[in-house]
Structure 1
Amino acid sequence: MKYTRTLTATAIAVMLLALILSAPCLSAPPPMSSTEMLTTLEKTLYGNPVEGAIIPRVAALEAVILGKAGEGTLTERVSRLWDQLGGGREGVLSLDYKIKLAQWIVNGKIKQGSLMERLAALEDVLFGYVSKESLPARIERMVEITTGIDGVDAAYAKLAAGTAVKVVIRTGMKSSSTRPGDKVVLEVSEDVYIGDRLAIPSGTQWTSEAADPTKSGRYDLKNLLELILEPVLAIDGTPVRLYVDDNAATATQILTGLLICQGDRPERLGFFALGTAVDRLLPGSKNLDIINGTKIILSVREDVSVVSAKVK
C-alpha cells in the first residue's frame, strides 16, 4: 500500500480545531478549569478519570507525559501537561486520530482500549517492548514509523448520506429477556471509505441501548427488539448517525435473512423478524434471538464532513 504524505500532524490538529469551531454555536468552547483539563487528560489517556487527591494524579500524568516531575504551582503544572498534548480539545482529538490510523496501518483494523493501552500494544508489536519515553515522543515516533516523517494526506471529505456501513452485533439479544436500558455493543466490520480516503475504520465499536419496541416504520406491528442507535465515531471523532433505510433493510435481509426496520423515530433500530414479514405471522414467530456475531447493514443518515486519511 502506498501512502501520500503531504500534511503534517500539525495540519491534522488545525483541521480538527476547525471542525470543533464549526459546531452550531460557531464559537470557541469556553475556557477549561484546571480540574476539567486534568479529567480530560485522564479520560483520554486511561479511558476514565482517576479518583483520589489531585496532586498524586498530576504527578502520575507528569511521569507519563513529561517523563519527570513538574515544577511550579498546581495550575501551572496542569497547564503544562495540557500544552504538551496539543493545548486544547483539538490536541486530544489529534492524539486519538494518530493512534487510530497507526492501529489501522499495522493491524488492518482498530482495537479498543485506552490510548495508553493501544499505544503500548502497537509498540510491543513493532518494537518488542513498551517505551519509557515521554508520551509526545512515543506518539511522534509511532507516527513516523507507520506513516512517515511527514504524516499522511489528511483532509476534509464528505461522507454522503446513504453510504452503507457494515456492522456486526457484539452483544446477543433475546426478545424474551433483553430489557430496556441493556447495553449492546456494535462494531463496524468493514472499512468505510470516501473515495480513496478512510473515514470509519474497521473495528470501531460503540454502544447503544435496548428500548421498548415501537411500531415498525414499515409494518403495522411492533418490532420484536429495538435499539436506540447512538452515533458511531469516524476516525477523527466526528459523530456519524446511522439508520435503516430501504437499501439497508434489503441488504441485511439478503445477507442474514434478518428483517430490520426503523422504529417510530429514525434513531430507532428495529428487529422485526427472521425471514419475511409474512413469517412474522406464523406460530412461534414472536421470539427473536440475535446472537453475538450477527451481521447487519446500516446507512449514513445525513452528509457529514470528516477529516479522512488518504490510504489508497
Structure 2
Amino acid sequence: MIYKKVFSFILITAFIFTSVLAQFSWAAEVSEVTLLQDLSQIEMAIYGTTSEKPLVERVDYLEKELVGRTLPGTITSRVKQLKEFIISGTPEDPSVIFKINASQWILEEKITSEYLITKIENLENVLFAKTSDDVLAMRAESIFSVCFKEGKPQVENVLIPAGTLVPIRFLSTLNSKKSKVGETFNFQISENVFLDNRLII
C-alpha cells in the first residue's frame, strides 16, 4: 500500500513537472516568435526586406546602422528598444518614422509608402543636395530639425469614427486568383483625411 502511494506521488510529481516544463517551452516559443516578428517588422520598415542572418547578428547590424554601436541588455530588450525607436515612439520622443513622415509632409505635402531609408535619402537630396554617411538616427534628426526648428510638432491620439472614408490606391496589382490568405500588399493614401479641420491621415 505504501509502495502504491509512493508510486502515485512520483507519477503526480512527474506529471506536474512535465506540465510546467511544457508551459515554459511554449512560452519561450511564443516569445521567440514575437521577437522575430518585431525584428522583421523593423527591417521591413527601414529596408523593405528582411534578413536571413542569425537573430543576434541582425540586431547588432540594426543597432550599428541606427546609432553606430551595439547596445547593452538582453536581446529581447534590445529589439523592444529598436521597435520603440523606429516604429512606435513615445509621447516624449516620437519615432524615427513619425519624424521622417512629418518632415516629408512639410516639404512635399504628402506622405509616401516608401521605405524609411529611401525617404531619408530623398529628403536629404531635397534639403542638402546630397546624402549623408552618418548613422540613420543622426540623418533623420538632421532632417527633422530643419523642418521643425521650434521643436516637435503638436501630436495627439485621435479616435477615427467608424465608417470614415480613407481613399487609397494600390501600389501593386492584386489578383484574387493568386493572392493568399494573410498576404500583405502595399498601398498609399491618395487623399488627405481631416477631422475637425485637423489632418489625421
TM norm. shorter chain > 0.5: yes
Q: Is the 8 A contact 1:41 1:82 kept in 2?
A: no
What is aligned with 1:51?
52
The structure with the largest strand share of the pair is: 1
Aligned counterparts, 1:273-288, within 5 A? none
- Counterpart code for 2:89: G
What is aligned with 1:90?
88
For these two proteins, the number of residue pairs brought into alignment is 164
Change (3 A) 1:81 1:179: closer
Distance apart, 1:192 and its partner CA: 0.7
Is it true that 1:190 corresponds to 2:188 in the alignment? Answer: no
Q: Is the 8 A contact 1:58 1:78 kept in 2?
A: no
What is aligned with 2:148?
147
SS in 2 for 1:165: coil
Q: Is the 8 A contact 1:42 1:50 kept in 2?
A: yes
Aligned counterparts, 1:60-209, within 5 A? 60-68=61-69, 70=70, 76=74, 79-80=77-78, 82-83=80-81, 86=84, 90-91=88-89, 94-168=95-169, 179-182=176-179, 186-200=187-201
Change (3 A) 1:61 1:157: closer
Give ranges in structure 2 of 5+ residues lacking alignment.
1-29
The higher radius of gyration belongs to 2
Higher RCO (C-alpha under 8 Å, 6+ residues apart): 1
Percentage identity across aligned positions? 25
Provide the C-alpha distance between the structure 2 equivalents of 1:198 and 1:41, rounded to a whole number of angstroms.
26
After TM superposition, the score normalised by the length of structure 2 is 0.61
- Counterpart code for 1:189: S
The structure with the largest helix share of the pair is: 2
Provide the C-alpha distance between the structure 2 equivalents of 1:198 and 1:168, rounded to a whole number of angstroms.
19
Q: CA RMSD in A?
A: 3.7
Q: Is the 8 A contact 1:102 1:142 kept in 2?
A: yes
Provide the C-alpha distance between the structure 1 equivalents of 2:43 and 2:165, rounded to a whole number of angstroms.
34
Query: Which digits, 9 at most, give the CA deviation of each residue in 1:183-242, with x for residues without a partner?
Result: 876543211111232212xxxxxxxxxxxxxxxxxxxxxxxxxxxxxxxxxxxxxxxxxx
- Counterpart code for 2:88: E
Q: Is the 8 A contact 1:62 1:81 kept in 2?
A: no
Query: Which digits, 9 at most, give the CA deviation of each residue in 1:266-306, with x for residues without a partner?
Result: xxxxxxxxxxxxxxxxxxxxxxxxxxxxxxxxxxxxxxxxx
SS in 1 for 2:158: strand
Distance apart, 1:99 and its partner CA: 1.8
What is aligned with 1:41?
42
Change (3 A) 1:151 1:184: closer
Distance apart, 1:139 and its partner CA: 2.2
Q: Is the 8 A contact 1:64 1:134 kept in 2?
A: yes
Aligned counterparts, 1:215-294, within 5 A? none
Provide the C-alpha distance between the structure 2 equivalents of 1:193 and 1:55, rounded to a whole number of angstroms.
42
Provide the C-alpha distance between the structure 1 equivalents of 2:114 and 2:167, rounded to a whole number of angstroms.
22
Query: Which digits, 9 at most, give the CA deviation of each residue in 1:121-180, with x for residues without a partner?
Result: 21121112222223322222222212234211111234334444334455568xxxx543
Q: Is the 8 A contact 2:46 2:116 kept in 1?
A: yes
Give ranges in structure 1 of 5+ residues lacking alignment.
1-29, 201-312
Provide the C-alpha distance between the structure 2 equivalents of 1:167 and 1:199, rounded to a whole number of angstroms.
15
What is aligned with 1:21?
none
Change (3 A) 1:187 1:80: closer
